[in-house]
Structure 1
């Protein structure tokens, strides 16, 4: 699927915040499903050539997504997103953290609060993502061209998945 070109990645150093806006040529319902169902998340939510492997996804307020980003060599890097607030097909607020294989959050890194806002206009869905970093060190690691390229890559994977889903 060819994206319409809307991909905005802005960095607010003063507030340790990254804002990402991306539009998809698909319905809100389809984009929401791709963002909230493990069998779909695992098909797109990692920059190439990595892949995502969900261990647990309990998509409800108080629930969490525990998953690994898997390298081509099979190395797993674990994360856990705890869902604070969910407004179906409107928004998700989550606390992101590195974890171990059992889902225990790594206490060495403060959690990042992430809010995703979903909206649809004329059959296209816009997702606005705000990442707020408590850790200055983690913010500096993420406020990079490398993070922007990785994010762009996995959102391109979502474009491709959405095209496949639309054609079913």
Structure 2
């Protein structure tokens, strides 16, 4: 399992998950910038993702849905706020309705992903910031921590495959 730690900090309104991969920073970066690779790991195995839009640039947007075991769809959106290839990206993240409009009562989280070389491996640190302690607790109760661990557990197989040309 590539996840080496996860930490909930209700006071700071943050959830941090750290994973390490036996691949270069550049190779791990590709799993974020290429929506077809992103689909192979974003979302836990029982809720695979499909990206309908993926504008990987500052100000760009992404729309995706995860399909559950019974065929139900959970939609989400991202707005990329910073991209510093190949070491950092940030995006706002929220739930969406069937028309891709934000689901306001679920709030917005802000994710900051950092990739760094540590002894020839890549450490990926993902920090999710929340609007309130209630939102953080709600997301954790929905299975965010377990889902992210399962999703990141799929990355090794993605990076082991040949990188697209």
TM > 0.5: yes
Partner Cα separation in structure 1 for residue 13 and residue 134 of structure 2: 10
What corresponds to 1:119 in structure 2?
A: 116
What corresponds to 1:135 in structure 2?
A: 132
Q: Kindly report structure 1 stretches of 4+ aligned residues shifted beyond 6 Å.
A: none
What corresponds to 2:36 in structure 1?
A: 39
- Cα drift, residue 87 of structure 1: 0.6
Does 2:154 match 1:157?
yes
SS in structure 2 at match of 1:44: coil
- Cα drift, residue 145 of structure 1: 9.6
| Partners of 2:3 and 2:153 within 8 A in 1 | no
Partner Cα separation in structure 2 for residue 95 and residue 64 of structure 1: 9
- Cα drift, residue 84 of structure 1: 0.7
2:17 to 11, 14, 20: 20
Does 2:47 match 1:50?
yes
SS in structure 1 at match of 2:122: strand
Superposition TM-score, scaled by structure 1 size = 0.89
Segments of 5+ residues of structure 2 without an aligned counterpart are none
Q: In 2 relative to 1, CA 100–157 (structure 1 residues): closer, same or farther, beyond 3 Å?
A: same
Partner Cα separation in structure 2 for residue 131 and residue 161 of structure 1: 23
Partner Cα separation in structure 1 for residue 31 and residue 128 of structure 2: 20
What corresponds to 1:67 in structure 2?
A: 64
Moved more, 120-129 or 88-97: 120-129
| Partners of 2:3 and 2:152 within 8 A in 1 | no
- Cα drift, residue 90 of structure 1: 1.3
Segments of 5+ residues of structure 1 without an aligned counterpart are none
- Cα drift, residue 46 of structure 1: 1.2
Superposition TM-score, scaled by structure 2 size = 0.90
SS in structure 1 at match of 2:149: helix
Partner Cα separation in structure 2 for residue 24 and residue 59 of structure 1: 22
